[in-house]
């Protein structure tokens, strides 16, 4: 709940954790120094950033010097794809990007195509997953980057990233993974995933908005998108946002601590919600149900209904849900994720996304079901 609102849109953004806000507070006044300054205040800011780098690294089993702080998931995805593609162009100008990716990856691949790269799409099956064998069969000797997300933002379906990594042929392309939705919801281990680049965003895991990270495995080459000072090893110049970075670090530490307990709690509530909706609306379809999914996400089609009308009606009842991903909601174009799964446009336009969080209560679920009962008659 946020005030009196039942908030079921955690995949769009999450409420900031109280301890995150408290950790950031001392750094919100500018007098805390620039982390690049030599004096005591600057050194203290740098120490705080280094601590956060360790906290974020620990969440994904990386080394602290493999973490580059950036402005969020979108920048991290851009930096991974553009940076790696440009650094490896002598190797080849071919990219493979899954059909399920967030626009931060898809549109970056399109921009690279406009600049002379060849980008192919890895199709998904009706279960919302990319098939690892079929994906790897598309790799060519001159493929420089493959990008497959960890968990989809609309359906929550988890992708077989480690299976793809294990099968990648030599010469091995770089493997990028957008883990923005997975972080804080399921464990992430970059070594076990076998990825070279991985993207994170703090506001999806109870941290502040406008801060994220790119994991860059030691030895991975990228070209910076920005040019300037030597911050973040010269790969992401610009004065560091100390308060946001400290908040991200705290959010990572809290997520690591409570991840398995939170996952079990939200999965049980999510399953109850789905069971009750399917009882209430017998032809309702849980999209991606057959596959392994994030514990908090439920994407449900209500055949014969318009998802914008349903979401607006729920909003009137004080229930916040999404019609698709946050960046595509408001558009009447059917979701590219649903299209990739072979769902009809009509089915896609009837789908709502409910994304729960550890702050979601049983009462919130009961209120949501009551609202749906009164809306659907
Ligand atoms: N990647 C995925 C899978 C997302 O869901 C989002 C946000 O919705 C992003 C990237 C972009 O992250 P940010 O909002 O931090 O730019």
Residue 212 backbone phi and psi in degrees, to 5: -155, -170
The pLDDT tens digits for 165-197 are 999 999 999 999 999 999 999 999 999 999 999
Looking at residue 34, what is its pLDDT?
86
Strand partners, 151: 158
Q: Tokens 């307990």 — which residue? A: 261
* Ligand 1 site, residue 102, Cβ cutoff 6 A: yes
Predicted confidence band at 162 (pLDDT cuts at 50, 70, 90)?
Answer: very high
Q: What is the pLDDT at residue 166?
A: 98
Q: What is the mean pLDDT of residues 114-141?
A: 97
Contacting residues for 211 by C-beta, under 8 A, at least 6 apart: 69, 70, 71, 72, 201, 202, 203, 241, 244, 245, 247, 248
Tell which atom from ligand 1 comes closest to the C-alpha of 210. 15
Annotation says 327 is catalytic: yes
Question: Is the CB of 322 inside a 6 Å radius of any atom of ligand 1?
Answer: no
Ligand 1 mutation pick, 104, 149, 210, 324, max ligand atoms within 8 A of CB: 104
Q: Residue with the nearest Cα to atom 9 of ligand 1?
A: 73
**pLDDT value at residue 33:** 84
214-252 per-position pLDDT tens digit: 999 999 999 999 999 999 999 999 999 999 999 999 999
How far is Cα 168 from Cα 174, in angstroms, rounded to an integer?
9
User: CA-CA distance, 135 to 122, in Å (whole number)?
Assistant: 6
Greater confidence (34 vs 147) lies with 147
- Confidence band of 327 (pLDDT split at 50, 70, 90): very low
Whether residue 326 has pLDDT greater than 70: no
Q: Residue 36 contacts by C-beta under 8 Å, 6 or more apart in sequence?
A: 42, 46, 229, 230, 231, 239, 240
| Predicted local distance difference test score (pLDDT) of residue 37 | 87
Tell how far the Cα of 322 is from the centroid of ligand 1, in angstroms. 15
Q: How confident is the model at residue 212 (pLDDT cuts 50, 70, 90)?
A: very high
- CA 75-245-69 angle, to 5 degrees, is 35
Query: Does the C-beta of 73 come closer than 6 Å to ligand 1?
Result: yes
- Catalytic annotation, pick one of 327, 345, 363, 373: 327
- When pLDDT is cut at 50, 70 and 90, the band that residue 3 belongs to is confident
Distance (Å, whole) CA 124 – CA 135: 9
Please return the burial class of 227, using the count of CB atoms within 10 Å of its CB with bins 0-12, 13-18 and 19+: exposed
Task: Please tell me if the CB atom of residue 188 comes closer than 6 angstroms to any atom of ligand 1.
Answer: no
Please give the distance, rounded to the nearest whole angstrom, from the Cα atom of residue 38 to the centre of ligand 1: 35
CA of 267 to the centre of ligand 1 (A): 22
User: Given the CA of residue 326, which atom of ligand 1 is nearest to it?
Assistant: 8
Give 212 Cα–ligand 1 centroid separation in angstroms.
10
Q: What proportion of the chain, given as a percentage, has pLDDT over 90?
A: 92
With cut-offs at 50, 70 and 90, classify the pLDDT of residue 330: low
Cβ of 344: how many Cβ atoms within 10 Å?
A: 13
Q: List, in order, residues 6 or more apart from 38 with CB less than 8 Å away.
A: none
Query: How many angstroms separate the CA atoms of 275 and 75, rounded?
Result: 38
Q: What pLDDT, on the 0 to 100 scale, is given for residue 195?
A: 98
**Smallest CA separation from ligand 1 atom 5, residue:** 153
Mean pLDDT of 40-58: 95
> What confidence score (pLDDT) does residue 30 get?
64
Q: What pLDDT score was predicted for residue 32? A: 75
Q: Is the pLDDT of residue 100 over 60?
A: yes
Paired sense of beta strands 285-286 and 297-301, if any:
antiparallel
- The reported pLDDT for the residue numbered 332 is 67
Q: Does residue 214's CB lie within 6 angstroms of at least one atom of ligand 1?
A: no
Distance 10 CA to ligand 1 centre (A): 12
Amino acid 207: pLDDT: 98
CB neighbours of residue 190 within 10 Å = 20
pLDDT at 264 over 50: yes
Mean predicted confidence (pLDDT) in 263-280: 97
Planar angle of CA 73, 78, 80, nearest 5 degrees: 95
The predicted model gives 29-46 an average pLDDT of: 84
The atom number, within ligand 1, closest to the CA of 202 reads: 15
Rounded Cα distance, 279 and 276, in Å:
5
Query: Cα dihedral angle (212, 216, 217, 219), rounded to 10 degrees?
Result: -160
- The answer, as to whether pTM is greater than 0.85, is yes
Mean residue pLDDT of the chain comes to 95
- Reduced 3-state DSSP string for the chain: CECCEEECECCCCCCCCHHHHHHHHHHCCHHHCCCCCCCHHHHHHHHHHHHHHHHHHHHCCCCHHHEEEECCHHHHHHHHHHHHHHHCCCCCCEEEEECCCCHHHHHHHHHHHHCCCEEEEECECCCCCECHHHHHHCCCCCEEEEECCCECCCCCEECCHHHHHHHCCCCCCEEEEECCCCCCCCCCCHHHHCCCEEEEEHHHHCCCCCCEEEEECCCCCCCCCCCCCCHHHHCCCCCCCHHHHHHHHHHHHHHHHHHHHHHHHHHHHHHHHHHHHHHHCCCCEECCCCCCECCCEEEEECCCCCHHHHHHHHHHCCEECECCCCCCCCCCCCCHHHHHCCCCHHHHCCEEEEECCCCCCHHHHHHHHHHHHHHHC
């Amino acid at each position: 709940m946020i005030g009196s609102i039942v908030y079921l849109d955690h995949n769009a953004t999450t409420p900031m954790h109280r301890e995150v806000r408290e950790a950031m507070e001392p750094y919100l006044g500018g007098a805390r120094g620039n982390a690049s300054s030599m004096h005591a205040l600057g050194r203290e800011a740098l120490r705080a950033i280094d601590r956060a780098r360790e906290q974020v690294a620990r969440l994904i089993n990386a080394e602290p010097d493999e973490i580059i702080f950036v402005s969020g998931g979108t920048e991290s995805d851009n930096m991974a794809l553009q940076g790696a593609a440009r650094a490896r162009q002598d190797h080849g100008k071919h990219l493979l990007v899954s059909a399920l990716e967030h626009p931060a990856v898809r549109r970056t691949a399109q921009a690279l195509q406009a600049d002379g790269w060849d980008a192919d799409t890895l199709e998904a099956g009706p279960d919302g997953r990319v098939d690892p064998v079929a994906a790897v069969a598309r790799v060519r000797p001159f493929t420089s980057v493959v990008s497959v997300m960890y968990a989809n933002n609309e359906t929550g379906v988890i992708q077989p990233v480690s299976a793809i990594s294990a099968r990648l042929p030599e010469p091995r392309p770089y493997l990028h993974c957008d883990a923005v939705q997975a972080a804080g919801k399921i464990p992430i281990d970059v070594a076990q995933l076998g990825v070279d680049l991985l993207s994170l965003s703090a506001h999806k895991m109870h941290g502040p908005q406008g801060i994220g990270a790119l994991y860059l495995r030691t030895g991975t080459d990228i070209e910076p998108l920005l040019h300037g000072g030597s911050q973040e090893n010269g790969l992401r110049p610009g004065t560091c946002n100390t308060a946001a970075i400290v908040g991200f670090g705290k959010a990572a530490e809290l997520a690591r601590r409570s991840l398995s307990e939170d996952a079990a709690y939200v999965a049980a509530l999510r399953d109850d919600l789905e069971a009750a909706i399917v009882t209430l609306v017998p032809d309702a379809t849980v999209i991606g149900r057959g596959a392994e999914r994030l514990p908090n996400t439920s994407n449900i089609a209500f055949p014969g209904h318009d998802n914008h009308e349903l979401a607006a009606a729920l909003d009137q009842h004080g229930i916040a849900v999404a019609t698709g991903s946050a960046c595509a909601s408001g558009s009447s174009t059917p979701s590219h994720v649903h299209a990739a799964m072979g769902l009809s446009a009509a089915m896609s336009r009837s789908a709502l996304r409910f994304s729960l969080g550890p702050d979601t209560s049983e009462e919130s679920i009961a209120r949501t079901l009551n609202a749906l009962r009164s809306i659907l008659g």
